[in-house]
Amino acid sequence: MGKTKGNLAVGQSGGPTVVINSSLCGVIQEAISHDEVGEIYGMFRGIDGFLKEQFVDLRRQSPEVVEGLRHTPSAALGTARKRVEAKDQELILKILKARNIRYIAYIGGNDSADTSWKLHQLATQAGYELHVIAVPKTVDNDLCVTDHCPGYPSAARFVAMAVRDTGRDTEAMGPASPVKLVEVMGRNAGWLTAAAALARQEEGDAPHLVYVPERPVSIEQLVADVERCYKEREHVVVAISEGAQESAGKDLGEEYASKEIDAFGHRMKGGVSDFVATLLAGRLGLKVRIDKPNYLQRSLMACVSEVDLDEAYRVGREAVRQAVAGRLEGMVTLVREPGQPYHCAVGIASLEGIANQEKKLPANFMNAAGNWPTQAFLDYARPFVGALEPKYVRLAKYFV
């Protein structure tokens, strides 16, 4: 029995990253190389565009444009945050059959893995042969099974570079404006916030404190930590996750948090730095400034990790290879190979163990006090984030 022939649909979902289009490029270029793949449909704004039958003809794009996707940030097809519901199933099947779509590559994070799993289940129950492969993408780095997620290395690089540079700014201001809070993305997982520690090139460099959701911090400890650091060097830079917690299940500064809920039932985070700034100013009498990079964390191509660009491209290509080879469902994974130099191979895992799951920062990636990443985390992240160049210097304090 020969391989299935049919059309392929590809979509992008969730928050865009600087490398999500590199994955799209990989999907398109690999699909073109297989005779089994007919038309290549780009879902305009993810599954929402699929339901509206808004498809971009990707075969008609010039080779130069397709290749250019590898170095173009954001989601070229547009993105969406829509949950597939029972009422959508009949229409989905109708569109699949009418357009003879036999292959789907869906690029996204946790919620996109859920969508991919539901599409697989729907097709299976209807007896319709459909090959659904999820392509991992998320700056949160919280997809299970895979070593890390495309998009995370570049966002982590941005955070490290931003904290390194704003640290020098804060150091220069000294007692006049001594405390800087950098609020980093991360609803429930602290992977991205922990990456701030990569900014430090020598002892005393920013950041001085790092707080992640997995390690709750009491108000008393937070104030004491900042006071101690200020007394040591007359300035303090704190990297704090937007999902930082005061205790298990209680967000730090809940009264400042957004009440907005997304389509998947997730409460939007944000506001923790406002709470902490007010707290520190009141308790310590210090001037506090806040940096909220927000979407810059995931969208600045100037801070891209070259490793990230390459891995994102490879997982896109692998998704098509797996689908054409007969795999009915799964998510492409990155598998770190032992030894040096650093390299990740591509693998595949079932969506059943990935959809609706979150990979948290391991306990051994934070110190006992819960305010600084360990060497184990630095060794994990540094190879794919890359070195921060050039190395900065300081004037020797030769006062006369």
pLDDT tens-digit readout, 174-191: 999 999 999 999 989 999
- pLDDT for res 248: 87
Q: Give the pLDDT score at 339.
A: 93
pLDDT at residue number 350 = 97
Closest CA to 97 of 76, 73, 122, 80: 122
Taking the C-alpha atoms of residue 127 and residue 300, their distance in angstroms, rounded to an integer, is 43
Mean pLDDT of the chain: 95
Amino acid at 170: T
Task: Say which residue, 225 or 249, is predicted with more confidence.
Answer: 225
Interval 284-321: pLDDT, tens: 999 999 999 999 999 999 999 999 999 999 999 999 99
More confident residue, 254 or 249: 249
Model pTM score: 0.94
Architecture of domain 155-297+360-385: 3-Layer(aba) Sandwich (3.40)
Regarding predicted confidence, which is higher, 335 or 267?
335
Residue 147 backbone phi and psi in degrees, to 5: -60, -45
Residue 385 has pLDDT above 90, yes or no: yes
What band does 266 get if pLDDT is binned at 50, 70 and 90? Answer: very low
State which amino acid sits at residue 186: G
pLDDT in tens, 111-125: 999 999 999 999 999
CATH C-level class of 6-150+302-353: alpha beta
What pLDDT is stored for residue 1 in this prediction? Answer: 41
Q: Return the sign of the alpha-carbon dihedral for residues 163, 166, 168, 171.
A: negative
pLDDT (mean) for 100-106: 98
Q: Where are the domains of the chain?
A: 6-150+302-353, 155-297+360-385
Q: Where does residue 340 rank: exposed (0-12), middle (13-18), buried (19+ CB within 10 A)?
A: exposed
Domains 6-150+302-353 and 155-297+360-385 share a fold: yes
- Give which of 245, 242, 254 is closest to 293, Cα–Cα: 242
| 270 pLDDT more than 70 | no
Q: Which of 146, 78, 156 is nearest to 110 (CA)?
A: 146
- Catalytically active residues are 140
From the list 7, 243, 17, 191, the residue with the least C-alpha distance to 108 is 17
Distance from C-alpha of 369 to C-alpha of 236, rounded to nearest angstrom: 17
Say how many Å lie between the first and final Cα of the chain, rounded.
86
